[in-house]
Amino acid sequence: MSGILAQFDTLGATKKAIERLMADGHSDLDVYSPFPAPELEEAMGIVASPVRRWALIGGITGFSTATALTGLTAVAYPLVTQGKPILSWPAYFIIMFEMTILFTGLFGFLGVLHHTRKPGRLSAQYRTNFSVDRFGVYVPSAAGAEQSGVEALVRDAGAVEVEVGV
Amino acid sequence: MATAEIEVPREGLPSLADANRDISRPISTPYKRYWLLIGICLVLIAAAGIAWAIQIRDGMGRAGINNPVNWGVYIVTFVFWVGIAHSGTLISAVLYLVRSGWRTTINRTAEAMTIFAVMTAGLFPLIHLGRVWYFYYLVPYPSTRLLWPNFRSPLVWDMFAIGTYFTISLVFWYLGLIPDLAVLRDKFTGIRKKLYGAFSLGWTGSVRDWAHYRRLYLYLAGIATPLVLSVHSVVSWDFAMGIVPGWHSTIFAPYFVAGAIFSGIAMVITITIPLRWAFGLDRYITKYHFDNMSKLLLFTSLIVGYAYGMEYFLAWFSADPIEIESFRWRGTGFYAGPFWIMVFCNVVVPMSLWFKRTRHSLKALFVISVFVNIGMWYERFVIIVTSLAHEFDPSAWQVYTPSLTEITIMVGSFAWFFFWFLLFAKTLPVISIAEVKEHLAHEHEHGGHS
């Protein structure tokens, strides 16, 4: 393995290192953060997550399932109850509303599991202090002269610990 | 709004490592006191279980309900617990969407409360059903007789609303827990490491993963907001869709939602004050948080008080003698006691929160929140029981008093709720570590040190 793993203790330094590495053409970085940090996503050039499509598809599925469930079951057994029409849409809308929300949430959660490849094993470059107070920047497959360049760059950006050959 | 002296003192600002250590400290071998509390809960749950078993054996005659008051303590307690469940989502979702930073240290507890309260509430329709084994009649499943639930019925809406609410709250809570479970996985060894590791799903805090996580968190907050409003509206329609005087009113949905938030916030205060003391979380849950919660409590108290008044105004304005009689009897008849307890606890007592001194005294806040909890239980009792006991036809008027079976089960429901909460408090972080760190990191970097 020829990757370099640099650890930082501030958000600002991490962001600086990412920006410089990205400018140097290292777009395949793995960055670890102990808390959600939109600044780092921005620095890495991460665009909106595809989870939104999962949520949308879930919502549409939920709404159509509930429409079919309430409408078709009423038609299948057309018994007038409470003096209301067989297809009482205002009443059925409550079921549609609830199921739209239910499926949006569940599909969105499946989307997150899919895109983050969870459940999964911990990656080799993960260090337990990434869940405490350290940020990690992993630069995969840097070789030879490039390796020393990357090392110098992360140290200059304020890395507190650098591991080579991870 | 907060004044300087009740902000987190900057020199005392915990580091990120402190947050890990302080918040996960209570997750350790419990003291005797803890086992004692668990023991009390288990005894009360067992008593309720026996009462329920006797009711199943002998029939619904064991409950005090009669005709016309066929909804009694079980339905009152059901509505009470569904109400308690509301503040969790309010604090997590609504305050997240409006970017209210003060939710950070109380959202986990409030969400846990939501889940346990729904778990408690969900038992009551089953207990009230009598023949509990027929509960599956509510579930839409294909049968050879082509029988489907009546989707026009508020009781079926209720099942869908509360089922969805429970599921979405659980997903929301679990999603928030994943990074914190990873913290615990890295902290512990042995079996605990394995368990926390399994539930953290291999979370590493990769920024790419955070991007997906944050997106879903936002969506869940977005969908949970209309959901939370719908759930108690649907519960209120269990009543408002009937023509019973005292129930058949269009203000019921907002009235119930405001009441739910009111009682939920009160329960959050009732729980967080002892929790903060027992776990030494003073640096995280500060007076600033309690100040904001009390303002919310005061605000919802005003809405609830307004709704009480408006119900009377509408009864008078309708010029319907039956409606007028129903409300006259509510305040002066057999149930005048519960009615005035309700008014005192929900409208009079919270008025002391206008004063900053009260809002900043945790003892006073605790007492007020307990009053509100009691008052809100009585509110549901007043709405449900007084309306049914005094319907249209004087020959059908009859009063109801709860039986010992009902009281035992109601008390047991509190024990059931606190039992789950106690388990939660000792096994999972009661404050969201990741969110506290996000807040602290920005304070450290941008706020500077004084």
Neighbouring CB atoms inside 10 A of B143's CB total 10
Residue A79's pLDDT is: 86
Q: Are residues A55 and A110 in the same domain?
A: yes
Give the model's pLDDT for residue B447.
Answer: 62
Rounded to whole angstroms, what are the CA distances from B253 to B42, B164, B231, B295? 36, 18, 9, 22
Instruction: Summarize pLDDT for B222-268 with one digit per residue, the tens.
Output: 999 999 999 999 999 999 999 999 999 999 999 999 999 999 999 99
Question: Domain boundary residue among A98, A115, A132?
Answer: A115
Q: Total domain count for chain A?
A: 2
Nearest to A150 by CA among A160, A161, A162: A162
Q: Which of B16, B146, B438 sits opposite A133 (nearest CB)?
A: B16
Pairs of residues, one from chain A and one from chain B, whose beta carbons lie less than 8 Å apart: 187
Whether B68 and B242 have beta carbons less than 8 Å apart is answered as no
Q: Which of A41, A108, A123 sits opposite B210 (nearest CB)?
A: A41
Q: Are residues A97 and A150 in the same domain?
A: no
Q: What angle do CA B423, B277, B8 make, to 5 degrees?
A: 115
Residue window 74-93, chain A: list those with CB within 8 Å of chain B.
74, 76-77, 81-82, 84, 88, 91-92
pLDDT at B357 over 80: yes
How much is the average pLDDT of A4-19? 93
pTM value is 0.93
Q: Which pLDDT belongs to residue A143? A: 67
Amino acid B118: pLDDT: 96
Confidence (pLDDT) at B11:
54
Contact B225, B94 (CB under 8 A): yes
Q: Which residue has the tokens 């005003």?
A: B302
| Average pLDDT of span B122-130 | 94
Report in angstroms the alpha-carbon separations of B101 from B97, B283, B439, B447.
10, 15, 8, 15
Looking at per-residue pLDDT, the higher value among A144 and B337 belongs to B337
Residue A75 pLDDT greater than 80, yes or no: yes
CB B209 to CB A116 under 8 A?
Answer: yes
Query: Can you tell me the ipTM of this complex?
Result: 0.94
The pLDDT-based confidence of A105 (bands split at 50, 70, 90) is very high
Which of B99, B148, B152 would you mutate first to test chain A, the one with the most A CBs within 10 A?
A: B152
**Three-state secondary structure readout of A88-120:** CHHHHHHHHHHHHHHHHHHHHHHHHHHHCCCCC
Search chain B and give the residue with CA nearest A43. Answer: B207
Residues 172-231 of B with CB under 8 A from A: 172, 175, 179, 182-183, 185-186, 198, 201-216, 219-220, 223-224, 226-227, 230
Q: To which residue do tokens 């408002």 refer? A: B240
CB contact (8 A) between residue B220 and residue A105:
yes
Residue B73, pLDDT above cutoff 70: yes
Report the residue of chain A nearest B149, measured CA to CA: A73
Which residues, 6 or more positions from B339, have their beta carbon under 8 angstroms from its beta carbon?
B330, B331, B378, B382, B386
Neighbours of A151 (CB within 10 A): 18
Q: Beta strand A4-8 with A135-139: parallel, antiparallel or unpaired?
A: antiparallel
User: Which residues of chain A have a CB within 8 Å of the CB of B202?
Assistant: 118-122
Whether the CB of A106 is below 8 Å from some CB of chain B: the reply is yes
Angle B348-B375-B101 (CA atoms, 0-180°, nearest 5)? 80
pLDDT given for residue A1 in this prediction = 62
Do A39 and A56 lie in one domain? The reply is: no
Q: What is the pLDDT of residues A138-162, one digit of tens each?
A: 998 766 678 888 999 999 999 999 9
Residue B361 near chain A (CB below 8 Å): no
Residue bearing the bigger pLDDT, B296 or B9: B296
Q: How far apart are the C-alpha atoms of B433 and B210, rounded to whole Å?
A: 15
Report pLDDT for B147. Answer: 85
Read off the pLDDT of residues B194-218 as tens digits, 9 standing for 90 and up: 999 999 999 999 999 999 999 999 9
Interface test with B, best of A5, A132, A139 (most B CBs within 10 A): A132
CA B231 → CA B118, B157, B165, B166, B215, distances in Å?
A: 11, 9, 7, 10, 24
Nearest to B204 among A41, A105, A122 (CB): A122
Of A74, A88, A101, the CB nearest to B227: A101
pLDDT surpasses 60 at B158 = yes
User: Cis link prior to B14 (omega < 30° from 0)?
Assistant: no
Q: Does residue A16 share a domain with residue A43?
A: yes
**Under an 8 A CB cutoff, do A95 and B156 touch?**
yes
Work out the percent of chain B whose per-residue pLDDT is above 70: 96
- pLDDT higher for B120 or B106? B120
* A2: closest CA of chain B, how far (Å): 20
Q: Which range marks the domain in which residue A21 is found?
A: 4-47+123-164
Q: Which of B206, B236, B442 to mutate to test the interface with A (most CBs of A within 10 A)?
A: B206
What band does B280 get if pLDDT is binned at 50, 70 and 90?
confident
> From the centroid of its chain, how far is CA B330?
26
Dihedral-angle region of residue B31 (phi above 0 means left; psi in -120 to 50 means alpha; beta otherwise): beta
> Residue B448: pLDDT above 60?
no
Model pLDDT, residue B106:
87
Please identify among residues 137-166 of chain A the ones whose CB lies closer than 8 Å to any CB of chain B: none
Residues A66 and A104 in one domain: yes
Instruction: Point out the domain boundary residue: A74, A99, A115.
Output: A115
A41-52 mean pLDDT:
92
